[in-house]
């Protein structure tokens, strides 16, 4: 950690060059004797990445930033705030502390937080930033989080871990392929706390996680503006109940679709697939990740367009639905379209034998504002196009 980066003149330079080409800065001579061009470029690039993701850090003077990759990998403030609500008790340890965003928000909910980070520089940096942010209830330790748990006599009310996928783990994503290996060390974690919160990338298959872990009480699938950001696995040492799954959509408002694991397997006989009615519903990414496709229709009083298409329809508008809602203006068949027909609308393709870019070129479709052209199939397998107006984005 080069504290010369925090000098007023250096900070002023960083702020003045947030839109500059960092590659040119790297290749040019530094204006500061004790701060290299590479360090300047790194601070500029990382702060730029924090502008929307970490607004509190971005708006706080003299924050020291890590390598830009660390900013990319860290939780956003939005998701960190959400997961902080899952912690319980008075003490929490984050054994993969990183830049310290999660620890910062845990510290708003928990009396005493311990931040353990393997990288000594990153640990120092997180501790310094916590002081700048005036957070005084976090203790910082540099070292291996699993080893820290093995050697400390302390127990904690909550343990939080964000395992990183190993570079050599291949295409198949399993928890045992991550560092730290929470699968092999789960008994250790449970001996030190009654609640474990594990964050994973949404790429992890839910059924795979269920098979690798034990004592799971809840799974939270968190999306922000229709982009699935993370899976949160809540493990309680005394849990013997059925797993509850929460699909959480965070936008201007927060919506949660919760269900017990067995409910995702309701029979399709409860869902009547029909031709599109007045309104069309496209589930948020968190709902799609949950896999509860038939339950979505039953809960919101909707009907599926096609067994293999996760689009739903209703005659009555339901704005409680977590996802996009469209008003259907007209239903066209593929035969109704003519090459060069100059249609207007943003293209959505669901279970349709063509790519959006090819359809746009073939039919000379121009992008719209609130107008959408939804290419899909009806219950009989016919290709249809729904000329629609969007009513709800998230």
DSSP letter at 371? Answer: E
Whole-angstrom distance, CA of residue 222 vs CA of residue 78: 10
Q: Are 354 and 342 in contact (CB under 8 A)?
A: no
Residue 102 CB neighbours (<10 A): 27
Residue found under tokens 């694991």:
261
Q: Provide the 3-class DSSP secondary structure of residue 148.
A: helix
From its phi and psi, is residue 40 left (phi > 0), alpha (psi between -120 and 50) or beta? alpha
pTM to 2 decimal places: 0.94
Of 301, 248, 244, 247, the residue nearest 277 (C-alpha): 301
Whole-angstrom distance, CA of residue 247 vs CA of residue 206: 12
pLDDT tens-digit readout, 310-357 = 999 999 999 999 999 999 999 998 788 876 667 899 999 999 999 999
Class of domain 3-67: mainly alpha
The pLDDT of residue 171 is: 55
Instruction: Give per-residue burial for 272-299: e unless 16+ CB within 10 Å, then b.
Output: ebeebeebbbbbbbbbbbbbbbbbbbeb
Helical ranges in 216-372 per DSSP H = 285-290, 293-300, 356-363
User: E strands, the chain, where?
Assistant: 91-94, 112-117, 138-142, 156-161, 164-165, 178-179, 193-200, 216-224, 227-236, 244-250, 254-260, 279-283, 303-306, 309-314, 323-333, 346-349, 371-377, 383-392
- What angle do helix axes 37-53 and 8-16 make, rounded to 10 degrees? 60
- Cα angle 288, 324, 290 (rounded to 5 degrees) comes to 15
Cβ contacts of 168 within 8 Å, gap of 6 or more: none
Class of domain 74-241: alpha beta
The pLDDT of residue 271 is: 43
Extents of the domains making up the chain: 3-67, 74-241, 268-392
How is residue 246 written in tokens? 């929460």
Whole-angstrom distance, CA of residue 147 vs CA of residue 299: 46
Whole-angstrom distance, CA of residue 28 vs CA of residue 26: 6
Instruction: Tell me the pLDDT of the chain (394 aa) as tens digits.
Output: 999 999 999 999 999 999 999 999 999 999 999 999 999 999 999 999 999 999 999 999 999 999 999 999 999 999 999 999 999 999 999 999 999 999 999 999 999 999 999 999 999 999 999 999 999 999 999 999 999 999 999 999 999 999 997 765 555 578 988 999 999 999 999 999 999 999 999 999 999 999 999 999 999 999 999 999 999 999 999 888 899 999 999 998 999 999 999 998 876 543 455 678 899 999 999 999 999 999 998 899 998 888 889 999 999 999 999 999 999 999 998 788 876 667 899 999 999 999 999 999 988 899 999 999 999 998 888 899 999 999 999 8
Q: Are 123 and 189 in contact (CB under 8 A)?
A: no
The pLDDT of residue 136 is: 97
- What angle do helix axes 120-132 and 101-109 make, rounded to 10 degrees? 50
Q: Provide the 3-class DSSP secondary structure of residue 41.
A: helix
Cβ contacts of 297 within 8 Å, gap of 6 or more: 270, 271, 303, 304, 312
Q: Are 189 and 213 in contact (CB under 8 A)?
A: no
The pLDDT of residue 336 is: 81
Of 131, 61, 59, 60, the residue nearest 100 (C-alpha): 131
């Amino acid at each position: 950690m080069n504290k010369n980066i925090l000098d007023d003149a250096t900070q002023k330079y960083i702020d003045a060059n947030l839109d500059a080409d960092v590659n040119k800065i790297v290749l040019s001579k530094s204006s500061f004797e004790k701060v290299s061009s590479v360090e300047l470029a790194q601070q500029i690039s990382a702060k730029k990445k924090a502008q929307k993701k970490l607004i509190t850090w971005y708006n706080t003077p003299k924050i020291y930033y890590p390598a830009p990759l660390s900013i990319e990998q860290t939780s956003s403030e939005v998701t960190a705030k959400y997961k902080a609500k899952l912690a319980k008790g008075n003490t929490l340890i984050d054994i993969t502390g990183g830049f310290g965003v999660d620890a910062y928000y845990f510290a708003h909910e928990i009396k005493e937080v311990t931040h353990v980070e393997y990288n000594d520089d990153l640990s120092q940096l997180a501790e310094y930033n916590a002081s700048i942010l005036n957070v005084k209830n976090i203790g910082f330790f540099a070292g291996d989080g699993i080893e820290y748990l093995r050697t400390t006599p302390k127990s904690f009310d909550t343990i939080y871990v964000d395992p990183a996928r190993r570079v050599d783990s291949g295409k198949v994503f399993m928890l045992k392929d991550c560092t730290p290996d929470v699968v092999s060390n789960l008994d250790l974690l449970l001996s030190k706390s009654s609640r474990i919160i594990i964050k994973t990338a949404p790429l992890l298959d839910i059924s795979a996680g269920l098979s690798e872990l034990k004592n799971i009480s809840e799974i939270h699938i968190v999306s922000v503006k229709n982009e699935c950001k993370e899976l949160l696995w809540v493990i309680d040492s005394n849990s013997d109940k059925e797993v509850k799954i929460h699909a959480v959509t965070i936008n201007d408002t927060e919506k949660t679709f919760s269900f017990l694991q067995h409910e995702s397997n309701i029979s399709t006989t409860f869902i009547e697939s029909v031709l599109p009615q007045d309104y069309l519903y496209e589930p948020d990414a968190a709902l799609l990740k949950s896999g509860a496709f038939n339950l979505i229709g039953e809960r919101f009083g909707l009907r599926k367009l096609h067994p293999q298409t996760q689009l739903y329809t209703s005659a009555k508008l339901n704005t409680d639905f977590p996802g996009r809602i469209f008003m259907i203006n007209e239903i066209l068949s593929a035969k109704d379209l003519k090459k060069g027909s100059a249609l207007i609308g943003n293209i959505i393709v669901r279970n349709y034998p063509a790519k959006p870019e090819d359809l746009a070129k073939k039919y000379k479709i121009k992008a719209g504002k609130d107008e959408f052209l939804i290419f899909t199939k009806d219950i009989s397998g016919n290709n249809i196009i729904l000329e629609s107006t969007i009513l709800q984005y998230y």
